[in-house]
Amino acid sequence: MSHRMKYWMLCALSFGVAALAGVVIGLIVPAARASDNPVWVFPLLVGVCGLVMAAGWLWWRKTDDLQQQGQLISWYWGGNFGALVMLVYLAVFFGRHSDISLGAIYLFFAEFAGFFVVWLVWRLRGRGQTE
Amino acid sequence: MKNCLRDLRKGRGLNQADLADRLEISRQTIIAIEADKYDPSLPMAYRMAAFFDVPVEALFFNPWKG
């Protein structure tokens, strides 16, 4: 099988697992109230998210320098700017303390926390001998 | 970075997609390097040089060397 074929198959697998995870989350989590047993539902769904990331990792390993750079630049600059615009929109149209604005702010904090952890690991792994 | 990837590729009778597949990278990357729009990482540059059996500096021209 050619590299290109493997790449697109893993890309499709990645999207497929993400879509499947969305269905699983939709089936398990009620639409308008908290889960009945959040203590086990939350770790279970974090595990599902882990599977999504694992499938993405399989695809990521098949990407080359240029493709990775494209993803990283687009997610950092495009993703962050898009999220900021949405955050401002929600605050302006629904109020700073509305449920939807607070939800978006939590998401932003989670993104920052995830960024910080990965950045820290990246920084520590990149260390060398200081002379 | 100026390079002679296109010449070496054509010398082997390969199109961009064939070369990309042989090197296990994307065709977009080959196109960008040939157009001097993207400088590859050192491992990728070495992989390309090894494929064509030439030194890296014969493939990518060192702009800091006279």
| Distance in Å, alpha carbon of A2 to nearest chain B alpha carbon | 6
Q: Is B45 on the interface with A (CB under 8 A)?
A: no
Q: Which domains does chain B have, with CATH numbers?
A: 5-58 (1.10.260.40)
Question: Residues of A34-46 as b/e, b for ≥16 C-beta within 10 angstroms?
Answer: eeeeeeebeeebe
Cβ atoms < 10 Å from Cβ of A114:
10
pLDDT by 10-residue block (mean), chain A, 131 residues: 90 96 95 91 96 96 94 96 96 96 94 95 88 83
Rounded distance between C-alpha atoms, residue B42 and residue B1, angstroms: 12
- B37-46 residue pLDDT tens: 999 999 999 9
Residue among A2, A62, A64 minimizing CB distance to B29: A64
Residue B12: pLDDT over 80: yes
Q: Is the ipTM of this complex over 0.95?
A: no
Q: Where are the domains of chain A?
A: 1-63, 65-131
Tokens of A123: 């920084």
Give the closest residue to A18 by CA, choosing from A77, A58, A74.
Answer: A58
